[in-house]
Structure 1
Amino acid sequence: MKAALLNAFGTPLSIETLPDPVIGTGEVIVDVVATGVASYAHGVFSGARNYLLEPPLVPGAGAIGRVRAVGPDSTRLAVGDWVYCDPTIRARDNAINPDTILQGWTARNPAALSLHRFYHHGSFATQMLVPTENVTAIGDLEERDAGKWCALSQLLVPFGGLLAGELQPGDTVLVNGATGGFGSAGVVAALAMGAAKVVAAGRNQHKLDELARLLGPRVSCVRMTGDVDDTRRICELAEGEIDLALDILPRGASASQVLAGAKALRRGGRLVLMGGVRKTGDDEPALPYAWLMHNEVTLRGQWMYPRVAIPQMVSMIRAGLVSLTKFNVTEFALDDANEAVAFAADNAGPLSLVVISPCRRKYTHG
């Protein structure tokens, strides 16, 4: 198979020919038709993010493709089926607390490295080997639309957070960190799940304006400034207080933005933390113990999404509740993988997808 290989951190991806994967029991081989490129992929490949992965490997998390071969224990999947390959692989020997990896991306802890070494290669390739339970049929589609379906990788992460927060139809929802790929997809998911109003919070006014233009009048946008009035501005746009806050802020966000979003919650509200905020100096989100207790706020951390979320989101797309036409897709050939990584870093924004399509030869980008 042809693949983009990361031979060492800090080196460009190398386009090489590798042995085709060999199927075993409990596995599926998929021909990759399209795979997304994260805006922060360069930080992963350079080693700056300190992700737990071991080069050389084929990177890439999640893919849209067609089944090439199925193992003997597969009862529904068939050769030729269009599928989504979920990168969240959970070890099968501990149902309560399984060690977990994102295939081709990272292991969650050192105990998961054995899993990472077995399902080592990700989706920047013409083929990939995936556990059977990580392959979900998505129904027929035109090959030219496969890139749009890579939006599943962006939608599923915040969808998992909104499910964890028990979003109810008619809720007012805050998405804190709404101008990034996951945050903007979270706004889309919240609207599809029946939110009456979504307050989209971010620091870039231009990107917020674009998000509001794309998603319509149920979305109100607030530019976060880091001052004490951020919470007041959120509540004004919500015309009251927030029922559910989804915090999906990036690593570089400040503690003040986290707390400003949380403090906008009503009594009995729910706060779901999915972001990557890290301590910078003394600036670390402090747990407002008394405020959480007196206001009966439910606090929930969520990483990724339950497996059942995948067919649910596919059904929402098929029903028209989620429109993939809202996403702007820029596609690259596998030979141009390094160009795709650079483009993704320079053009991150709401509802923006950068896609590698390994089976096609060349693209004109625009």
Structure 2
Amino acid sequence: MKAWMLDQPGQPLVLRDIDTPHARPGAVLVRMEAVPLLSYTRDYLNGALPYAYPPGPFTPGTNGVGTIIETGAGVHHFRAGQRVAVNPYLTSTESVDAPAEILIGLTGISADSGPLLQDFPHGTLREVAEFPAAALVPLDGLDRLSSDQLATLSKFAIPFGGLRRGRLVAGETVAINGATGAFGSAAVLAALAMGASTVLALGRRAGPLESLARMGDGRVVPVVMTGDEGVDSAAIRSAASGGVDLAFDMVGQATSPNSTLAALLSLKRRGRMVLMGSMTVPLPLPYGAMLRNGWELIGHFMYASADYRALVAMVRAGQLSLDAIHVKRFPFDAIEQAIDAAGTLAGLEAAVVTFPHD
């Protein structure tokens, strides 16, 4: 089999012929079919990110879709021939207060994640990949969708997990801060699918916000942010006819807290706010306003396995369509072009690596 390997960060990816592994106990072999690339893949490979890299040489790649070809001893619910999605967010199953966590093919998360990362260092950019059974999500009942379409589930999983953590209820008003980003745009569509009556799409660029609004059948209201906390919070409240039930912050690498604070200040009394962005500066909280209004501020990372299964169920039922994602496909051997493209795409676009079939 062939696999893209990274000997160490800063060195180029190399396509190598390696032995096909066998599934260890509790693990599954997956013949990969489609792998979406993160927008920051180039920076990651260059070693420019403060990540805990797997021990090299290793195969990068986080999410993906493929078909099971072998199951190891102790795997009871998966079978050969079954199509699955790879969920890279892996948590140790040991019953301890703080189990180790990693993102397969990307980084360790917890301080004690080294051994877990060493057990499963390889990601999805290989023809056949071994994963613990706990890292797979069954895709039964989705035969109508191609694997490269299903690879875009990864775009929805993170915001979907955050919206569920925020306890979004059908009929509520939701504000999505950073709505034109890769995950923020998916958050808008996910909130609609979950039954939000109104979704306020917050961002700085009017054009992309208007494009999102056209997809919402009148339920998406664009709000162009100015960077002025007071002006923006007033605009959000006005668009929401008084305030929002749930604010969802998905702004990437923000160097100012103003838009996040504006979204917070737009909440109704006893409203909730979920933080899932990557702001690089502290968030100064209005202590008195938080207290008087009973606001709930929730920090959230990634998603639970149950969230991913619920997401798949919504796609299966037709409640959430993946058709809105524009997929740009690249063959397995054109990895460099795919990585370059991933760094330029935005919003509802995705770069997906596809694998040759026998």
* TM-score, structure 2 as length reference: 0.95
Query: In 1, Cα distance between the equivalents of 2:93 and 2:294?
Result: 37
CA shift at 1:262, angstroms?
0.9
2:61 counterpart SS class? coil
2:299 corresponds to: 301
Query: In 2, Cα distance between the equivalents of 1:87 and 1:127?
Result: 16
1:46-195 matched pairs, under 5 angstroms = 46-54=46-54, 55-141=56-142, 145-195=146-196
CA shift at 1:72, angstroms?
2.3
CA shift at 1:63, angstroms?
1.0
1:207-222 matched pairs, under 5 angstroms = 207-222=208-223
CA shift at 1:170, angstroms?
0.4
Once the two structures are superposed, residues 188-217 of structure 1 have per-residue CA deviations (whole angstroms, 9 ceiling, x without a partner) of 111111100001111222222222223332
Query: In 2, Cα distance between the equivalents of 1:20 and 1:218?
Result: 50
Query: In 2, Cα distance between the equivalents of 1:5 and 1:217?
Result: 47
Aligned residues: 356
1:267 corresponds to: 269
Equivalent of residue 354 in structure 2, options 341, 352, 357: 357
Within the alignment, does 1:32 sit opposite 2:29 as a pair?
no
Once the two structures are superposed, residues 104-139 of structure 1 have per-residue CA deviations (whole angstroms, 9 ceiling, x without a partner) of 011113310111111101011111111112212111
1:354 counterpart SS class? strand
Equivalent of residue 243 in structure 2, options 223, 241, 244: 241
Q: Do the aligned residues in 2 keep the contact of 1:241 with 1:265 (CA within 8 Å)?
A: yes
Choose 43-52 or 330-339, whichever is displaced more.
43-52
Query: In 2, Cα distance between the equivalents of 1:18 and 1:290?
Result: 61
* TM-score, structure 1 as length reference: 0.93
CA shift at 1:19, angstroms?
2.6
Query: Which portions of structure 1, spanning 4 or more consecutive aligned residues, are displaced by more than 6 angstroms?
Result: none
CA shift at 1:75, angstroms?
2.1
Q: Percent identity over the alignment?
A: 34
2:45 corresponds to: 45
Structure 1 residues 165 and 171: alpha-carbon distance in aligned structure 2, compared to 1, 3 A threshold: same
1:6 corresponds to: 6
Letter in 2 for 1:233: A
Query: In 1, Cα distance between the equivalents of 2:145 and 2:307?
Result: 25
Q: Do the aligned residues in 2 keep the contact of 1:250 with 1:276 (CA within 8 Å)?
A: yes
Q: CA RMSD in A?
A: 1.7
Letter in 1 for 2:37: V
CA shift at 1:8, angstroms?
2.4
1:220-235 matched pairs, under 5 angstroms = 220-227=221-228, 228-235=230-237
Choose 188-197 or 251-260, whichever is displaced more.
251-260
Once the two structures are superposed, residues 4-43 of structure 1 have per-residue CA deviations (whole angstroms, 9 ceiling, x without a partner) of 2222223332222223222111111111101110112122
Structure 2: runs of 5+ lacking an equivalent: none
1:364 corresponds to: none
Q: Do the aligned residues in 2 keep the contact of 1:160 with 1:309 (CA within 8 Å)?
A: yes
Query: In 1, Cα distance between the equivalents of 2:92 and 2:269?
Result: 39
Q: Do the aligned residues in 2 keep the contact of 1:124 with 1:358 (CA within 8 Å)?
A: no
Q: Do the aligned residues in 2 keep the contact of 1:249 with 1:276 (CA within 8 Å)?
A: yes
Letter in 2 for 1:271: M
Q: Do the aligned residues in 2 keep the contact of 1:32 with 1:359 (CA within 8 Å)?
A: no
Structure 1 residues 334 and 53: alpha-carbon distance in aligned structure 2, compared to 1, 3 A threshold: same
